[in-house]
Amino acid sequence: MSANLSVCYFGAYRSNYPRNLTIRRALALATITVVECQVPPKWKSWRRWLSLTYQFLCNSKARAATVIIVAEFCHTLVPLAWVLSRLTGAALLFDPGISFYEEMIVSQQAAPPESFRARYLRGVDSRAFRLADFVIWFTPVDEEYFGRLYRIPTERAAWLPPGVDSESFAFSPPPEIDSPFVVHWDGSFIASHGVEVILDAANLLRNYLDIHFELVGDGPVSDEMRQRAESLKLANVIFRGTVSFEELVESVKRSHICLGTFRADDKQRRSLYTKELQAMMAGRALITAEGEAKRRVFKPDEELVLIPPQDASDLADAILKLKADAPRRHHLGEHGHAAVSALCSPESIQYKLMTILHRAREQRRR
């Protein structure tokens, strides 16, 4: 199935980011030749374009690639990749990860919907999705939603589950000692994660002195959330801040329960988050908010616990119920692990990705 395929992985991305790491591992598993044209994400646009153009044109393997994959969050680099793909005949595959307009304008409300910035971001999204021969999304619900919104034909799109490092987050039994009882969350502290719901649940559980909430990560709303915790005098919440990948893995594995996202918005409804899949892969019971994507892919109450979004009381109740029922926690952890293993195993990702690459090449020929 991988015959005559070769890939140029292209963009301003972090090599250890779960999504592109998983894709590159799947390509290696399929013994597909991969050459990377890569610059740091923090570089300014002009420097990105110059360096990537130079890397591509000076590398014979990049020029010979049959598919160019533009990495996550690199919407502004798609036009450059499109020009290079048209020079060489390669198919252009874009893995956006997000819509800039939705993330910045709808979720974070960084500018009014009719502002220049909003129109600019909508244009960046539209141009990137239009120029790519093929676009891949994280969930089937994203594929349908953005297909309608940006008029992406079904033959030009597919979904590929978010990646999980199955080796690092390999199944391990939860701690036998349940004091303290550790509730873990990790993420980039963006508004759409609903961290305030977790803090409000911690406030409701403040008298349960053996329950500790550990929050790992940093991001746009982290200071606001720390201030919220201080104002509520939450002695049961620990902010770990930014940690190494190894420390993140250990934090998940020393927990009894892991939490997902809780904001009541459309993005949450459509999403599967890496933090959720990592927790399930490690064998931890997961509590997260209701969402169409989660219901389509997993079995609620069998593989994970779904609660109404933006509801701290329901979250607190779900934590107490699982705390009191170790067999149920173990059942959820084991079945959640099996479900994520089937969805995100290297072999499963490899098979789906190979199908996508061949479909992208067919679109390029047309």
pLDDT digits (tens, 9 = 90+) for 296-327: 999 999 999 999 999 999 999 999 999 999 99
Domain ranges of the chain: 6-163+345-365, 181-344
The pLDDT value recorded for residue 231 is: 97
2 pLDDT band (50/70/90 cuts)?
Answer: low
Tokens standing for 79? 């036009």
Residue 121, φ and ψ in degrees, nearest 5:
-65, -40
Domains 6-163+345-365 and 181-344 share a fold: yes
* β partners of residue 241: 216
pLDDT tens track for 229-263: 999 999 999 999 999 999 999 999 999 999 999 98
Peptide bond connecting 18 to the previous residue in cis, omega within 30 degrees of 0? no
pLDDT at 246: 94
Give the whole-angstrom CA distance, residue 214 versus residue 305: 19
Task: Give Cβ neighbours of residue 281 (< 8 Å, ≥ 6 apart).
Answer: 164, 166, 169, 170, 171, 337, 340, 341, 344
Per residue in 105-141, pLDDT (tens digit) is 987 788 999 999 999 999 999 999 999 999 999 999 9
Q: What is the pLDDT of residue 110?
A: 87
Whole-number Å distance between alpha carbons of 354 and 315? 40
What pLDDT does 140 receive?
95
DSSP string computed for 190-205: -GGG-HHHHHHHHHHT
pLDDT at 268: 85
CA distance 326 to 235: 25
Cα separation, 246 vs 174, in Å, equals: 17
Which amino acid belongs to residue 193?
H
Banded pLDDT at 3 (limits 50, 70, 90)? low
> How far apart (Å, rounded) are the C-alpha atoms in residues 277 and 139?
13
Of the chain, the percentage scoring pLDDT greater than 90 comes to 86
**11 or 191, greater pLDDT:** 11
**Where do the DSSP E strands lie in the chain?**
6-12, 33-39, 67-70, 91-94, 134-137, 157-159, 181-186, 211-216, 237-241, 257-259, 285-289, 305-307
- Could you tell me the pLDDT band of residue 4, with boundaries at 50, 70 and 90? confident
Give 300's strand partners: 304
Query: Which superfamily does CATH assign the domain made up of 181-344 to?
Result: Glycogen Phosphorylase B; (3.40.50.2000)
Asked if the model's pLDDT at residue 170 lies above 60, the reply is: yes
Instruction: Report pLDDT digits (tens) over 318-363.
Output: 999 999 999 999 999 999 999 999 999 888 999 999 999 999 999 9
pTM for this structure? 0.87
Q: Output the pLDDT for position 162.
A: 85
352 vs 355: CA distance, rounded Å:
5
**208 burial via Cβ count (<10 Å: 0-12, 13-18, 19+):** middle
Task: Assign domain 6-163+345-365 to its CATH architecture.
Answer: 3-Layer(aba) Sandwich (3.40)
pLDDT over 60 at 1, yes or no: no
Rounded to the nearest 10°, the torsion over CA 313, 276, 298, 95 is 130
